[in-house]
A and B are shown apart, each in its own frame.
Chain A
Amino acid sequence: MEFLIDRLPLYLSGAGTTLLITLLGAVLAFALAMVVGVMGTLRNPVARAIATGYTETFRGVAALVLMYWMAFAIPQLVPYKIDALFAAVLALGLNVGAYGAEVVRAAINAVPKAQVEATIALSMSWWRRMRAVVLPQAWAQMLPTFGNLVIELMKATAIVSLIGVSDLTRVAQEQRASTGETVAAFTGALIAYFLIAQLLIVGMRLLERRANRRLGRPVATGFLALLRPPPATATGGGRR
Chain B
Amino acid sequence: MPQSDPRTSTGTHEPLIRFDQVVKRFGSLTVLDRLDFTVDAGERVTLIGPSGSGKTTILRLLMTLEQVTSGVIWVGGEPLSHRYQGDRLVRANEKHQRRVRKQIGMVFQQFNLFPNMTVRQNITEGPIHSLGISREEADQRARELLEMVDLSDKIDAHPAHLSGGQQQRVAIARALAMRPKILLLDEVTSALDPELVTGVLDVLRTVAETTDITMLLVTHEMQFARDVSHRVLMFDHGRIVEEGPPEQIFGDPKEERTKAFLHAVLD
Interface residues of A (CB under 8 A from B): 114-115, 117-118, 120-125, 128, 132-133, 136-137, 214-217, 237, 239-240
User: B15 near A: Cβ within 8 Å?
Assistant: no
Cα A132 to Cα B105 with chains together (Å) = 19
Given contacts A114-B108, A239-B110, A239-B111, contact A124 B126 (CB under 8 A): yes
By beta carbon, the residue of chain A nearest B94 is A126
Q: Would B114 and A118 count as touching, CB distance under 8 A?
A: yes
Cα A118 to Cα B126 with chains together (Å) = 10
Q: Would B116 and A122 count as touching, CB distance under 8 A?
A: no
User: B173 near A: Cβ within 8 Å?
Assistant: no
User: What 9 A-B pairs have minimum CB-CB distances, sorted nearest first?
Assistant: A216-B158, A216-B160, A122-B126, A118-B112, A136-B116, A123-B130, A121-B106, A237-B115, A114-B112
The smallest beta-carbon distance between A31 and chain B, in angstroms, is: 22
By beta carbon, the residue of chain B nearest A217 is B160
Point out the residues of chain B lying under 8 angstroms from A125, CB to CB: 98, 129-130
Cα A117 to Cα B66 with chains together (Å) = 10
Point out the residues of chain A lying under 8 angstroms from B65, CB to CB: 117, 120-121
Cα A124 to Cα B104 with chains together (Å) = 13
Cα A124 to Cα B127 with chains together (Å) = 10
The smallest beta-carbon distance between B116 and chain A, in angstroms, is: 4
Tell me which of A117, A123, A133, A237 contacts B102 (CB under 8 A).
A123
The smallest beta-carbon distance between B81 and chain A, in angstroms, is: 15
Q: Would A121 and B63 count as touching, CB distance under 8 A?
A: yes
Q: Would A237 and B178 count as touching, CB distance under 8 A?
A: no
- What are 20 of the A-B contact pairs (CB < 8 Å)? A114-B112, A115-B114, A118-B108, A120-B63, A121-B104, A121-B108, A122-B126, A122-B130, A122-B178, A123-B101, A125-B129, A128-B129, A137-B114, A215-B158, A216-B115, A216-B160, A216-B161, A237-B116, A239-B160, A240-B191
Of the listed residues B63, B64, B114, B159, the one surrounded by the most CB atoms of chain A closer than 10 A to its CB is B114
Tell me which of B63, B64, B159 contacts A239 (CB under 8 A).
B159
Q: Would B115 and A239 count as touching, CB distance under 8 A?
A: yes
Please provide the chain B residues from 49 to 74 with a CB less than 8 Å away from any CB of chain A in the complex: 63-65
By beta carbon, the residue of chain B nearest A236 is B115
Point out the residues of chain A lying under 8 angstroms from B130, CB to CB: 122-125, 128
Tell me which of A132, A214, A217 contacts B125 (CB under 8 A).
A132
- Given contacts A115-B112, A124-B130, 10 further A-B pairs with CB under 8 A are A118-B108, A120-B65, A121-B105, A121-B175, A122-B174, A124-B125, A215-B158, A237-B114, A239-B159, A239-B167
Cα A158 to Cα B214 with chains together (Å) = 66
The smallest beta-carbon distance between B251 and chain A, in angstroms, is: 34
User: B23 near A: Cβ within 8 Å?
Assistant: no
By beta carbon, the residue of chain B nearest A135 is B116
Point out the residues of chain B lying under 8 angstroms from A118, CB to CB: 108, 112-114
Point out the residues of chain B lying under 8 angstroms from A120, CB to CB: 63-65, 101
The smallest beta-carbon distance between B104 and chain A, in angstroms, is: 8
Q: Would B129 and A132 count as touching, CB distance under 8 A?
A: yes
By beta carbon, the residue of chain B nearest A126 is B94
Please provide the chain B residues from 110 to 164 with a CB less than 8 Å away from any CB of chain A in the complex: 110-117, 125-126, 129-131, 158-161
Cα A139 to Cα B178 with chains together (Å) = 28
Tell me which of A117, A128, A214, A240 contacts B116 (CB under 8 A).
A214
Cα A186 to Cα B92 with chains together (Å) = 67
Cα A132 to Cα B175 with chains together (Å) = 17
Tell me which of A123, A133, A240 contacts B114 (CB under 8 A).
A133
